[in-house]
Amino acid sequence: MVVGNKKSAMTSMERVLTSLAHKEPDRVPFSLMLTVHGARELGLSIKEYFSKAEYVVEGQLRMLKKYRHDCVNPFCAAAMAVEAFGGEVLWFEDGSPNSGEPIITTETDILSLQVPEIESSPSLVRMLKIIEMLKEKVGEEVPIMGVVVSPFSLPVMQMGFSSYIELMHERPALFNRLMQVNQEFCIAWANTQILAGATAICYFDALLSPSITAGAHLETGFKIAQDTLARINSPSVIHMATAATLPVVEEVIAAGASVIGVGILDDLAKLKATCQGRLTILGNLNGIAMRRWTPQQVEKKVKEVIAQAAPGGGFILADNGEIPWQVGEEVLTALSVAAHKWGRYPVCCQMG
């Protein structure tokens, strides 16, 4: 039973902005990071789907209508950023594209690395077209989430994680050189997306989690994030994929982000208490496990998450990264139904 005044329906943009202002909108904003699922909607292979901006735009609009969520994603694949540097994208029939063999294998590769021109990368140009076309369709009613891989995390794909860890620990000068190039690219790429019509930028940086990086290197990562976000002309989300975030909430706020993307490794109630009124939480449905959830489990999970994090605003119900291809329509529909049923404010009354 719903108790309290029912608020009039807001647009998705109004809903998200209200929540970002740490106030309660009409219902909890709900955002699913659906990228490859648009291919299924259009009956195309994933590779074919991402080959034309028109396909992605159509896929995003169909999913927006079908799942009634509050955000569109022009994002295609993290590997696109590495492709701009000359890397390879690996395509799969049943999953998101992935980056191929590392492009940095020697010291010379780092010393000679140049900031790639955005207009010379077909994948990046296509994503800009997707943003422009989505903007024409949704105008100011639905947020368009631009995406960048952070300068600090990009080397995981550029040179392989193990080599990158060794670089961090053992070759500070080369590490700094790589960060400079990546940072300039990241800022240019983010701001070009904003110019094309993106509402905000999601700054993916799993390495900002203390579960991945420690000590001085973690401090370096946040310094880079702060410097980078200061030069990006939009609000930003720091997303650490599935890594733990609770210990670095203060650093995320200091870096200038408005939103933190969180995964299941954190205690959501503790996160809410820590972020209350200062930082909006985006999360934290388990994208891997949801594949096997029944509609009843979906409803239970959504209720639980909303009860913990939604009161007072400052919360966007979402998955913890990119939803895998293997998550079926039944689960996504159940998520939508539960989010609309239990997300109406004031949520505290509904939870009893």
Partner 1 sequence: MISQKKEVQTFVAKLLRTDRLGAEEIFNAVQEQGSMPQTVDQLILPALETIGQGWEKGTVALAQVYMSSRICEELMIHVPLSTALQHPGYPRMAIAVLDDYHLLGKIIVSACLRASGYAFQDYGRVTSQELACKIKNDSIEIILVSALMLRSALQIKEVKRLLVEAGSPTRIVVGGAPFRFDPLLWKEVGADAMGANAAEALSAISSCIKTM
Report the residue number, 169 or 231, with the smaller CB distance to partner 1.
169
Tell me if 297 contacts partner 1 by CB under 8 A: no
Ranges within 151-210 binding partner 1 (CB under 8 A): 156, 160-162, 165-166, 168-169, 210
Report the residue number, 106 or 162, with the smaller CB distance to partner 1.
162
Tell me if 68 contacts partner 1 by CB under 8 A: no
Q: What sign for the dihedral angle of Cα 128, 221, 275, 264?
A: positive
Q: β-strand 200-204 against 30-31: which pairing, if any?
A: unpaired
How many residues bind partner 1 (CB under 8 A)? The answer is 40
Give the residue carrying structure tokens 């949801």.
290
Among 42, 253, 288, 307, binds partner 1 (CB under 8 A): 288
Among 53, 22, 20, which Cα is nearest to 38's? 53
**H-state helical runs in 198-294:** 215-230, 249-255, 268-275
Name the burial class of residue 256, with classes exposed (0-12), middle (13-18) and buried (19+) by CB atoms within 10 angstroms of its CB: middle
Residues counted in the chain: 352
Tell me if 111 contacts partner 1 by CB under 8 A: no
Among 31, 96, 153, 183, binds partner 1 (CB under 8 A): 96
Report the residue number, 18 or 150, with the smaller CB distance to partner 1.
150
Tell me if 213 contacts partner 1 by CB under 8 A: yes
Tell me if 86 contacts partner 1 by CB under 8 A: no
Among 104, 218, 232, 298, binds partner 1 (CB under 8 A): 218
CB atoms within 10 A of CB 326: 14
Minimum CB separation from partner 1 for residue 240, in Å? 12
Report the residue number, 12 or 245, with the smaller CB distance to partner 1.
245
Tell me if 325 contacts partner 1 by CB under 8 A: yes
CB 131 within 8 A of CB 138: no
Among 122, 139, 172, 247, binds partner 1 (CB under 8 A): 247
Minimum CB separation from partner 1 for residue 252, in Å? 16
Minimum CB separation from partner 1 for residue 93, in Å? 9
Type of residue found at 84: A
Minimum CB separation from partner 1 for residue 212, in Å? 5
Cα 329–334–336 angle (5° rounding)? 95
Tell me if 337 contacts partner 1 by CB under 8 A: no
Tell me if 286 contacts partner 1 by CB under 8 A: yes
Minimum CB separation from partner 1 for residue 59, in Å? 19
Instruction: Name the phi and psi angles at 99, rounded to 5.
Output: -75, 150
Stretch that binds partner 1, among 55-63, 242-250, 268-276, 334-342 (CB under 8 A): 242-250
Q: How far is CA 113 from CA 60, 126, 227, 254, in A?
A: 35, 23, 21, 30
Q: How far is CA 108 from CA 38, 114, 155, 160, 177, in A?
A: 40, 12, 15, 16, 11
Tell me if 244 contacts partner 1 by CB under 8 A: yes
Tell me if 211 contacts partner 1 by CB under 8 A: yes
DSSP 20: H
> Residue 284: is the preceding peptide bond cis (ω within 30°)?
yes
Residues lying near partner 1 in the complex (CB under 8 A) = 90, 92, 94-96, 98-102, 156, 160-162, 165-166, 168-169, 210-215, 217-218, 242, 244, 247, 264-265, 286-289, 291-292, 324-326
